[in-house]
């Protein structure tokens, strides 16, 4: 199994054009000819894996409160679209299963970011990977990542041979090489706004492909590409796709 490193990954679907982490956002990315999407998964109170970024409902739905305190029954009819634009009224928070169905149907690759609510780092990875193992076959086009080491370690325990990405935040870890080896990752996903050229070179020296989030400006994509960054998460993936040098 070898990961087909994507050049362009639609961030939360294609969240520059549709409400993030909805089926509509996934379809929008696919309609643009984007081949991979990134989605965030977390659990409801009753442990249903859903696609959602924030720990609370406030920003991206017509409700409020903590996701971890709501059952799926309570979430499934919420409007997760009109906060973004009236035309998306009625978009719902998808379950992981519903999202995967669309992704498989549209022939997309997936970076599933395990984004647990606090305290549910292990459980979220377990539930998400258990479900994925029943419906996903193409492991050259599936990448599991998380900011939470516990989640990544759980992914490693459950499915050692699936591809993992080391997701790095604003602080570049001093022990990067150790982390890469420990988690036995296939790529390193770095913050485009804080990564330096020296850090990119350090990762390249270790022999790891690099993906960078979140890049919406062509100039930034080209600069990072000139440093050796391989691929980009973007809210506007069509714009970045048109403006980088793609080697097929
Ligand atoms: O996985 C890349 C990127 O999505 C990480 O940041 O906050 O957008 O999930 P965030
Ligand atoms: Mg994410």
List, run by run, the mean pLDDT of 10-residue segments along the chain (248 residues). 91 98 98 98 98 98 98 98 98 98 98 98 98 96 98 98 98 97 98 98 98 97 97 98 76
- Ligand 1 pocket list (CB less than 6 A): 11, 38, 40, 53, 113, 145, 167, 189, 213, 233
For residue 211, the ligand closest to its alpha carbon is 1
On whether residue 233 sits in a domain, the answer given is: yes
On whether residue 35 sits in a domain, the answer given is: yes
Q: Report pLDDT digits (tens) over 182-193.
A: 999 999 999 999
**CATH assignment of the domain containing 72:** 3.20.20.190
Q: Cβ(29)–Cβ(2) under 8 Å?
A: no
Q: Cβ(61)–Cβ(76) under 8 Å?
A: no
Q: Report pLDDT digits (tens) over 140-168.
A: 999 999 999 999 999 999 999 999 999 99
Provide the residues around ligand 2 (an ion) whose CB is within 5 A. Answer: 40, 113
On whether residue 74 sits in a domain, the answer given is: yes
Instruction: Determine the pLDDT at residue 244.
Output: 85
On whether residue 48 sits in a domain, the answer given is: yes
Please give the biggest Cα pair distance in the chain: 49
Instruction: Determine the pLDDT at residue 108.
Output: 98
Instruction: Determine the pLDDT at residue 53.
Output: 98
Instruction: Determine the pLDDT at residue 1.
Output: 75
Q: Cβ(106)–Cβ(136) under 8 Å?
A: no
Nearest Cα residue to 236 out of 1, 4, 3, 10? 10
Instruction: Determine the pLDDT at residue 194.
Output: 98
Domain with 154, as residue range(s), is 8-243
On whether residue 1 sits in a domain, the answer given is: no
Residue nearest to atom 3 of ligand 1 (CA): 213
Q: Give the nearest ligand 1 atom to 115 CA.
A: 9
- What is the number of domains present in the chain? 1
Residue nearest to atom 5 of ligand 1 (CA): 213
- Nearest-angstrom CA–CA distance, 226 and 208: 16
On whether residue 78 sits in a domain, the answer given is: yes
| 168 burial level (CB within 10 Å; 0-12, 13-18, 19+) | buried
Instruction: Determine the pLDDT at residue 247.
Output: 56
Active-site residue, from 11, 27, 139, 248: 11
| Cα 191 to ligand 1 centroid, rounded to whole Å | 9
For residue 212, the ligand closest to its alpha carbon is 1
Strand 49-51 to 36-43 pairing: antiparallel
Instruction: Determine the pLDDT at residue 143.
Output: 98
- Nearest-angstrom CA–CA distance, 81 and 68: 20
On whether residue 2 sits in a domain, the answer given is: no
Instruction: Determine the pLDDT at residue 246.
Output: 67
| Cα 235 to ligand 2 centroid, rounded to whole Å | 11
């Amino acid at each position: 199994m070898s990961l087909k490193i994507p050049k362009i990954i639609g961030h939360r679907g294609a969240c520059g054009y549709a409400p993030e982490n909805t089926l509509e956002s996934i379809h929008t990315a696919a309609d643009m000819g984007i081949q991979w999407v990134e989605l965030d998964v977390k659990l409801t109170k009753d442990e249903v894996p859903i696609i959602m970024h924030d720990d609370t409902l406030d920003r991206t739905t017509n409700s409020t409160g903590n996701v971890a305190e709501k059952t799926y029954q309570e979430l499934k009819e919420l409007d997760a679209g009109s906060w973004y634009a009236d035309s998306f009224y009625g978009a719902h928070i998808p379950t992981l299963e519903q999202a995967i169905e669309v992704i498989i149907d549209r022939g997309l690759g997936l970076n599933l970011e395990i984004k647990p609510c606090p305290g549910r780092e292990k459980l979220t990875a377990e539930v998400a990977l258990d479900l994925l193992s029943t419906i996903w076959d193409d492991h050259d086009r599936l990448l599991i990542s998380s900011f939470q080491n516990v989640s990544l370690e759980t992914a490693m325990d459950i499915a050692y041979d699936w591809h993992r990405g080391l997701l790095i935040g604003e602080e570049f870890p001093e022990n990067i090489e150790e982390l890469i080896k420990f988690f036995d990752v296939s790529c390193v996903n770095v913050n485009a706004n804080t990564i330096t050229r020296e850090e990119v070179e350090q990762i390249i020296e270790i022999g790891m492909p690099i993906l960078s989030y979140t890049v919406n400006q062509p100039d930034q994509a080209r600069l990072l590409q000139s440093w050796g960054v391989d691929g980009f998460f973007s809210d506007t993936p069509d714009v970045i796709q048109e403006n980088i040098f793609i080697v097929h």
